[in-house]
Amino acid sequence: MVNEVERLCDLFFDFSNEDRLQILYSLRETPMTVTNLSRELNLTTQEASRHLSRLGEMGLTLKDPNGLHHLSPFGMLSLQQLESFRFTSKHRDYFRSHDLSGLPPEFISRLGELAESEYIDDVMVVFHRINQVIKDADEHVHRLTDRYIITAQPAQAYALQKGVQYRLIEPEDIVVPPEFVNPPIVNEALRSGQFMDHVVDELKVFMALSEKELAVVCFPGTDGKMDYRGFSAKDEKAIKWTHDLFNYYWEGSVTRTTPLPSHRQN
């Protein structure tokens, strides 16, 4: 009997061939004949037929009575799972120097949902996007942060004036810059519950998002520190992934009971 490792190796062998992988992606879009596939992928009919035979033997594709090749349910599932590998492989330099081991396993397995995100390696661009996403929000802003971004205060005040609900998760021992003072609208929002400030013992991710856009999600370096470089996105999958991750941490956080010095400002 073929063991599990051999089955897995056989599957990755099929994925390791560029032509076979392109066939699978083409069939994900629409069923096709051997002739159409060979024409679209610039293969000979014999090459396309040979690859399809291999993919069919592995259970990744099916052929209907009309000669059309389809992805099988197993083939579709395998491609969906492969998205995480595509994403991490595309950004391998980033993931070589950043540690995601602190994330819940269920979110590691869903990393492919970030596949359409854009990598940003300029910290100033990251902070600018955070400001813009906060300002453009209509419903809510969610932030996980290990630092206060003083330049975001005007955008934050503007969002609160529009009635945006603001949720913040920060470490209990976050360092507050001496020049940081909450404007009156933030203190009022804290009292009313429009602004909710929660704390956790330790943060393994940095993010800012609204209902419309993921400003950024960043992961710590191998030294455990944030360098504020990460991924930005507007697509539905990436926004859902980060909203779900934020809610995971929100459920494990508690309301700040010891006000920060800046929170006492009137």
Residues 63, 21 contacting (CB under 8 angstroms): no
Name the nearest CA neighbour of 186 among 170, 199, 210, 168. Answer: 168
Residues 255, 167 contacting (CB under 8 angstroms): no
Domain boundary among 54, 81, 108: 81
In a domain, 195, yes or no: yes
Residues 196, 250 contacting (CB under 8 angstroms): no
Is the domain of 77 the same as that of 96?
A: no
Give me the pLDDT at residue 260, please: 60
Is the domain of 145 the same as that of 253?
A: yes
Is the domain of 74 the same as that of 197?
A: no
Whether residue 211 is predicted with pLDDT greater than 70 in this model: the reply is: yes
DSSP of the chain:
---HHHHHHHHHHHHTSHHHHHHHHHHHH--B-HHHHHHHTT--HHHHHHHHHHHHHTTSEEE-TTS-EEE-HHHHHHHHHHHHHHHHHHTHHHHHSB--TTS-HHHHTTGGGGTT-EEE--HHHHHHHHHHHHHH-SSEEEEE-SS--GGGHHHHHHHHHTT-EEEEEEETTPPPPTT----HHHHHHHHHTSEEEEEES--S-EEEEESS-EEEEE--BTTS-----EEEE-SHHHHHHHHHHHHHHHHT-EE--S--GGGG--
Is the domain of 173 the same as that of 215?
A: yes
In a domain, 177, yes or no: yes
In a domain, 101, yes or no: yes
pLDDT digits (tens, 9 = 90+) for 56-108: 999 999 999 999 999 999 999 999 889 999 999 999 999 999 999 999 999 99
In a domain, 86, yes or no: no
CATH number at residue 190: 3.30.870.10
Give me the pLDDT at residue 7, please: 85
In a domain, 168, yes or no: yes
Whether residue 122 is predicted with pLDDT greater than 50 in this model: the reply is: yes
DSSP of 158-170:
HHHHTT-EEEEEE
Domain limits for position 15: 4-81
- The phi and psi torsions of 120 (rounded to 5 degrees) equal -120, 120
pLDDT band, residue 174 (cuts 50/70/90): confident
Average pLDDT of the residues in 156-177: 92
In a domain, 146, yes or no: yes
Whether residue 150 is predicted with pLDDT greater than 90 in this model: the reply is: no
Is the domain of 77 the same as that of 202?
A: no
pTM of the model: 0.85
Which two three-digit tokens encode residue 90?
């595309």
Q: How far apart are CA 109 and CA 83, in angstroms?
A: 10
In a domain, 116, yes or no: yes
CATH number at residue 25: 1.10.10.10
Half-sphere exposure (CA, 13 Å, Cβ side) for 184? 1
Is the domain of 31 the same as that of 75?
A: yes
Whether residue 263 is predicted with pLDDT greater than 80 in this model: the reply is: no
How many domains does the chain contain in total?
A: 2
Whether residue 195 is predicted with pLDDT greater than 90 in this model: the reply is: yes
In a domain, 103, yes or no: yes
Q: How far apart are CA 154 and CA 173, in angstroms?
A: 24
Q: How far apart are CA 212 and CA 93, in angstroms?
A: 28
Is the domain of 231 the same as that of 135?
A: yes
Domain boundary among 50, 81, 112: 81
Is the domain of 128 the same as that of 205?
A: yes
Domain boundary among 28, 48, 81: 81
Is the domain of 163 the same as that of 196?
A: yes
Is the domain of 203 the same as that of 114?
A: yes
The β-bridge relationship of strands 195-200 and 214-218 is unpaired
Is the domain of 168 the same as that of 198?
A: yes
Is the domain of 114 the same as that of 239?
A: yes
- The phi and psi torsions of 229 (rounded to 5 degrees) equal -115, 135
